[in-house]
Amino acid sequence: MSDATFEDECDVNQDDSQEDVMTPAELIAKLEEAWLNEKFSPELLENKAEVVECVMEQLTHMDANLQRVKKGDMKASIHRMEIDRIRFVLSSYLRSRLQKIEKFFPHVLEKEKCRQAGEPSLLSPEEFAFAKEYYSNTEAYLKAVALKRMPPNLQTVDMLKAVPEPCLDSFVFLRAKESQENILVEPETDDQREYVVDLEEGSQHLMRYRTVAPLVSTGAVQLI
Amino acid sequence: MDPSEAEFLAEKETITIIPNFSLDKVFLIGGDLGPFNPGLPVDVPVWFALNLKQRQKCRIVPPAWMDVEKLEEMRDLERREGAFTPVPSPFYMELSKLLLNYASDNIPKADEIRTLVKDIWDTRIAKLRLSADRFISQMEAHARLDNLTLMEINTIRSFLLDSLNCMYRLRSNLQPGSSKDRADY
């Protein structure tokens, strides 16, 4: 499963850049985009396995090079500072994904179960393992502390109902990276009418996540 | 988002420094830096400039907008206009703070600049509060926020978004059937 996903995403990536190889600088920019989107979106986004993997590769490569440099070298200290900065973004990205998995684990797993073969997975294999383990641990814990002392008809708990779903109706701040036309804005109250807005390139907006969710995953808008 | 994270992003901006040492080109993952020659200006990211400054290995050239006259003009414009005026840098607040804290000796009239930036910030935040108030009282579903910077959005983000969510929840309970029940937990 994991390998297939990985290749799929790499293919997509190659199509995007039209056979160019992404430069390391572009790679870092991609990681930062993914980091901010993940930070601000109310739901778990698709995992960027290929970006994470490539960044890790860069970091280990640079680390290995630095091992060979003697101490006190000015260049080495610059490289080390840069590595620390990139590592911060990377771990903050992964951490915010884990936080969301912990918060919405039954829904995340449910989505994963309903996923059609061939569709890219939301979770990386490690995240999937984490979510499953978190689920079974929570269940075991609830059973141990309370459920087994309940009357028999109350001894089960439906996790999907017990854990709140991500609220897709929350507002988000966003910047349009590509112009988008005719985004339907739903009315807030019954006496208002729905209307459409155009997102010009570079403009910034505040609106409901639900309306722009597809644009976030295609990368046409950036959450800020 | 934590303000320190906004500062982290601001540190990626480039700034000109005048180094007092020499060093070949450095090939970083995010791009190349240098070469460095004493007395020759070179563009580097702010995080690196500040590090060099703290080790007293360079002089920082303040960005062109960090100038008393330009900032005064900006402040007056900001006070005159009802809408947000374009800012000279998307990280003007973070950069002023960083540069004034760590490199104030390289910035002419640092104190005046500090006051001016604070004035501009205060005016903008007051506008932001007003427009947030309007947004909520008119129950809008969309707002355009050009020229707002990340730090400004940050100061209002959690308060505004949480209250909008709360109001949404209250409203959807008032209009049964318009949205599914969220009182599951």
Q: What is the pLDDT along chain B (185 residues), one digit of tens a residue?
A: 888 999 999 999 999 999 999 998 888 888 888 799 999 999 999 999 999 999 999 999 999 999 999 999 999 999 998 889 999 889 999 999 999 999 989 998 999 999 999 999 999 999 999 999 988 888 888 888 888 999 999 999 989 998 888 888 888 776 654 444 444 44
- Dist CA B130 CA B126 (whole Å): 6
Q: Does B181 reside within a domain?
A: no
For residue B112, the domain's CATH number is 1.20.58.1020
Q: Of A62, A86, A208, which has the smallest distance from its Cβ to B141's Cβ?
A: A208
Domain with CATH 3.40.5.60 in chain A: 167-223
Domains contained in chain B, number: 1
Class assignment of domain A167-223? alpha beta
Q: What is the pLDDT of residues A107-151, one digit of tens each?
A: 989 888 888 777 778 888 899 999 999 999 999 999 999 888 888
DSSP secondary structure string for all residues of B115-180: HHHHHHHHHHHHHHHHHHHHHHHTT-SEEE-TT--HHHHHHHHHHHHHHHHHHHHHHHHHSTTSS-
Domain with CATH 1.20.58.1030 in chain A: 24-164
Please judge whether B171 and A208 are an interchain contact, meaning their C-beta atoms are less than 8 angstroms apart: no
Q: Does B151 reside within a domain?
A: yes
Please judge whether A185 and B153 are an interchain contact, meaning their C-beta atoms are less than 8 angstroms apart: no
The distance of B109 to chain A (nearest Cα, Å) reads 31
Q: Does B116 reside within a domain?
A: yes
- Dist CA B94 CA B99 (whole Å): 9
Look up residue A123 and give its amino acid.
Answer: L
Q: Which residue of B has its CA nearest to A74?
A: B23
The distance of B36 to chain A (nearest Cα, Å) reads 12
Q: Give the predicted TM-score (pTM) of the model.
A: 0.85
The interface predicted TM-score (ipTM) is: 0.85
Classify residue B3 by its DSSP letter.
H
What's the domain range around B45? Answer: 3-173
The distance of B170 to chain A (nearest Cα, Å) reads 12
CATH code reported for the domain at A24-164: 1.20.58.1030
User: Is the minimum CB–CB distance between A64 and chain B shorter than 8 Å?
Assistant: no
Of A168, A216, A103, A160, give the one whose Cα is nearest residue B179: A168
